[in-house]
Amino acid sequence: MEDQTELVGKTFVGHYYHLFDNDRASLSSLYQPTSMLTFEGQNFFGVDDISTKFNQLPFDQCRHMISTIDSQPCPSTGGLLIFVSGSLQLAGEDHHLRFSQMFHLIPTPRGSFAVQNDIFRLNYG
């Protein structure tokens, strides 16, 4: 039976990549003012900075295919660490790009989770 940590991790990952692929502007609702994104080695801080980065990506459409999801509880924050590997395909492209992404989710006062830290990297080679 799937434990709560794995269930929350899988549910979050499904929601996150659905938004990324279909309604990228809505991703901002998952972040908060203290959030940090490291995207291919560049750092972005806060909802506005992160949202601007996502909206300025040089492609409008893509499709993520998830290979693995590993989740761990983070007792010090009451949150979760989630590591994702998979591939993405840009619209009009035949080849897939491999990627890894790590999320640190923390609980919100509303009883849900927000992304505190997000690290994304394409995997070459």
Tokens of 86: 């998979």
d(CA 96, CA 110) in angstroms, rounded, equals: 37
**pLDDT at residue 47, as a whole number:** 98
- Of 51, 58, 46, 1, which is closest to residue 23 (Cα–Cα)? 51
Task: Give the tens place of pLDDT for each residue, 101-115.
Answer: 999 999 999 999 999
Is it the case that residue 1 has pLDDT exceeding 50?
Answer: no
**pLDDT at residue 46, as a whole number:** 98
Task: Give the tens place of pLDDT for each residue, 18-58.
Answer: 999 999 999 999 999 999 999 999 999 999 999 999 999 98
Q: Model's pTM, two decimal places?
A: 0.94
Residue 12: φ, ψ to 5°: -60, -50
**Could you tell me what percent of the chain has a pLDDT over 90?**
86
Task: Give the tens place of pLDDT for each residue, 56-83.
Answer: 998 888 999 999 999 999 999 899 999 9
Tell me the DSSP string of 71-120: EEEETTTTEEEEEEEEEEEETT-SS-EEEEEEEEEEE-TTSSEEEEEEEE
**pLDDT at residue 2, as a whole number:** 61
Cα 102–27–57 angle (5° rounding)? Answer: 80
